[in-house]
């Protein structure tokens, strides 16, 4: 059983955002700040109000959500594009997760550039084969008839709420058409 995470107020998040926006380097942030924001939002959304009280709650949720989004965005900009490398000790675990993904992306870019500029078509063939064989887990939000995937395998038919692992190219097409949504297996 996990311990209860204390709430954080809109004023607290506003002050964090204001402090972060007015300084060029990352500010200290409690490692559980985003968890506190999420807990506060969950608690607010769970309040059973009606009428004007429900409208006030909804506005508070919107303000807290937007402030949190801006805080994350400002810190991400400093982390990824600041004039100095970020102070790792000032990053929350969630920000380390963002930075890890960015570093993985940069490494992949460098791999393609090197293979291309050094004349290594076999490396590029391996990269192409890897991405063509990649699968994505999706949840269908609309029914879908059976289809042949880019790998020439049959998929479906699918009903609403079915979950399937599909070739990346097919999954992206279904996402863009609104037939399915991505399921993030790691979360």
pLDDT at 185: 65
> For position 165, which CATH number holds?
3.40.5.50
Assigned domain for 87 exists:
yes
- Strand runs (DSSP E) across 14-172, as ranges? 135-140, 147-148, 154-155, 163-167
C-alpha 132, offset from chain centre: 23
Distance CA 163, CA 183 (A): 8
Assigned domain for 48 exists:
yes
- Model confidence band, residue 182 (pLDDT cutoffs 50, 70, 90): very high
pLDDT at 54: 93
34-83 tens-digit pLDDT = 999 999 999 999 988 899 999 999 999 999 999 999 999 999 999 988 88
CB atoms within 10 A of CB 81: 7
145, 15, 113: which is closest to 67 by C-alpha? 15
Distance CA 38, CA 168 (A): 30
pTM, 2 dp:
0.75
- Model confidence band, residue 7 (pLDDT cutoffs 50, 70, 90): confident
Q: Are residues 20 and 77 in the same domain?
A: yes
pLDDT > 80? residue 5: no
Assigned domain for 162 exists:
yes
Assigned domain for 124 exists:
no
User: Would the CA dihedral through 49, 54, 58, 60 be positive or negative?
Assistant: negative
Q: How many domains does the chain have?
A: 2
Domain span at residue 14? 10-91
Q: Are residues 14 and 65 in the same domain?
A: yes
Distance CA 68, CA 17 (A): 8
pLDDT at 184: 86
Q: Are residues 149 and 85 in the same domain?
A: no
Assigned domain for 104 exists:
no
Q: Are residues 80 and 24 in the same domain?
A: yes
78-116 tens-digit pLDDT = 998 888 888 889 999 999 999 999 999 999 999 999 999
User: Which one of 57, 91, 125 terminates a domain?
Assistant: 91
pLDDT at 87: 87
User: Which one of 59, 76, 91 terminates a domain?
Assistant: 91
Assigned domain for 79 exists:
yes
pLDDT at 96: 94
- Model confidence band, residue 1 (pLDDT cutoffs 50, 70, 90): very low
pLDDT > 80? residue 24: yes
Higher-pLDDT residue of 6 and 110 is 110
Assigned domain for 57 exists:
yes
Q: How far is CA 174 from CA 67, 121, 145, 171, 180, in A?
A: 32, 31, 12, 5, 6
Assigned domain for 47 exists:
yes
Q: Helices 51-81 and 33-45: crossing angle, nearest 10°?
A: 160
């Amino acid at each position: 059983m996990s311990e209860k995470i204390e709430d954080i107020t809109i004023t607290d998040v506003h002050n964090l955002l204001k402090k972060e926006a007015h300084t060029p380097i990352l500010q200290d942030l409690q490692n559980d700040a985003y968890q506190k924001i999420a807990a506060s939002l969950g608690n607010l959304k769970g309040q059973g109000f009606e009428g004007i009280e429900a409208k006030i709650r909804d506005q508070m949720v919107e303000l807290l959500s937007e402030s949190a989004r801006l805080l994350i965005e400002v810190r991400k900009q400093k982390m990824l594009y600041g004039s100095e490398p970020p102070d790792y000790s000032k990053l929350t675990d969630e920000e380390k997760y963002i930075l890890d993904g960015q570093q993985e992306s940069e490494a992949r870019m460098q791999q393609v550039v090197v293979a291309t500029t050094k004349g290594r078509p076999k490396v590029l063939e391996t990269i192409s084969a890897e991405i063509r064989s990649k699968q994505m887990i999706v949840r269908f939000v609309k029914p879908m008839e059976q289809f042949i995937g880019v790998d020439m395998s049959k998929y479906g038919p699918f009903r609403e709420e079915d979950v399937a692992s599909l070739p990346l190219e097919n999954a992206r097409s279904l996402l863009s058409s609104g037939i399915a949504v991505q399921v993030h297996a790691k979360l």
